[in-house]
Amino acid sequence: MSENPTPEVVIRARGLTRRFGTLVAVDHIDLAVPRGQVFGFLGPNGSGKSTTLRMLCGLLTPSEGDVEVLGLKIPAQAEALKHRIGYMTQKFALYEDLTVLENLQFLAAIHELPRARAKPRVAEMIERYNLGDRRGQLAGTLSGGQKQRLALAGSVMHEPELLLLDEPTSAVDPESRRDFWASLFELADAGTTLLVSTHYMDEAERCHRLAILESGRLVADDTPQALCAALPGRVWLLRVANARAAEAALHGHPGILGVAQIGTALRVLAEPSIDEPALRSLIPDGGAADIEAVAPNLEDVFVAATRGARKEAAA
């Protein structure tokens, strides 16, 4: 982004809301996504990630709010937008009874690639996504990682300016996930804007910018680094003889935002007012505990943000 210090905003949403009956799936979200970024949506299942993603791309009509994508008003100009976006679904959505090559040819035609242009483009996709030796294989018989590469190849066939990925790595092994993210950054470098929903922290950490959703509301929106730095609390690593007893003691204390057992240790997210002696006093046999301050990670941010939102909702 060095040559473009004030990146152009490709998606702008104000007061975006979607109701399904009485359920408010997405509740007045404001967003601005700059061009060429990998923008992540992090949130638990049912927090409104997919719904938001779909509304931003004109696949779902918002109940309320204004959306402008690539200079087009959504949903009024959603059909025009469809020529400029790609969408990769959570579940493999290409035809399992067509071969790799046939699927890609189909998508090239659907996106109106001229015949002369389609052939080299399909070949290029097969080459880039390493599907050369699978060309004639039925898509249904591919492995999870191969299916995902094929799906990505299909969704970027028409060189979309905006690519939308709905939990794209839920069905693949860690190595394929790593390769897959490398492909995503390659696309971002080429100027494609990517919206990715995920519930993997390690994936969220890779995003340029992150929106955390909880029960349909936007509870945080910044770079992962800034989110970690701005965490309203401190993170401690506790090593005690009886971790279960310590966890029980800490649980429900108003100053403690979250406790998670990691191996034999406890990772504690506490309000800034709680210092080491205070923490020690809260647990049984606290004098013998080994307590260490650690740098916050995205999971801590996520716990703090969603917990804050829940408190607000309860109040």
* Nearer to other proteins (CB atom), residue 79 or residue 312: 79
Structure tokens that stand for 263 in this block: 């191996």
* Nearer to other proteins (CB atom), residue 192 or residue 215: 192
Q: How far is the CB of 91 from other proteins (least distance, A)?
A: 5
Q: How far is the CB of 117 from other proteins (least distance, A)?
A: 16
* H/E segment holding residue 176: helix 174-189
* Nearer to other proteins (CB atom), residue 194 or residue 268: 194
Based on C-alpha coordinates, what's the Rg of the chain?
Answer: 23
* Nearer to other proteins (CB atom), residue 96 or residue 127: 96
Q: How far is the CB of 110 from other proteins (least distance, A)?
A: 5
Binding site for other proteins (CB under 8 A): 57, 59-61, 79, 82-83, 85-87, 89, 91-96, 107, 110-112, 154-155, 164
Rounded to whole angstroms, the Cα distance separating 185 from 219 reads 26
* Nearer to other proteins (CB atom), residue 81 or residue 188: 81
| Dihedral, 59, 46, 44, 69 alpha carbons, nearest 10 | 20
Q: Among residues 1, 28, 24, which one has the least CA distance to residue 13?
A: 28
Q: How far is the CB of 155 from other proteins (least distance, A)?
A: 8
Q: How far is the CB of 106 from other proteins (least distance, A)?
A: 10
Rounded to whole angstroms, the Cα distance separating 81 from 161 reads 10
* Nearer to other proteins (CB atom), residue 43 or residue 58: 58
Listed as own residue / partner, the contacts of 126-133 with beta carbons closer than 8 Å and 24 or more positions apart are 126/100, 126/101, 126/153, 128/153, 129/153, 129/183, 131/100
Structure tokens that stand for 75 in this block: 């949903």
Structure tokens that stand for 138 in this block: 């039925």
Question: Side chain identity at 163, as an amino acid letter?
Answer: L
Rounded to whole angstroms, the Cα distance separating 65 from 30 reads 9
* Nearer to other proteins (CB atom), residue 60 or residue 194: 60
Q: How far is the CB of 278 from other proteins (least distance, A)?
A: 51
Q: How far is the CB of 123 from other proteins (least distance, A)?
A: 21
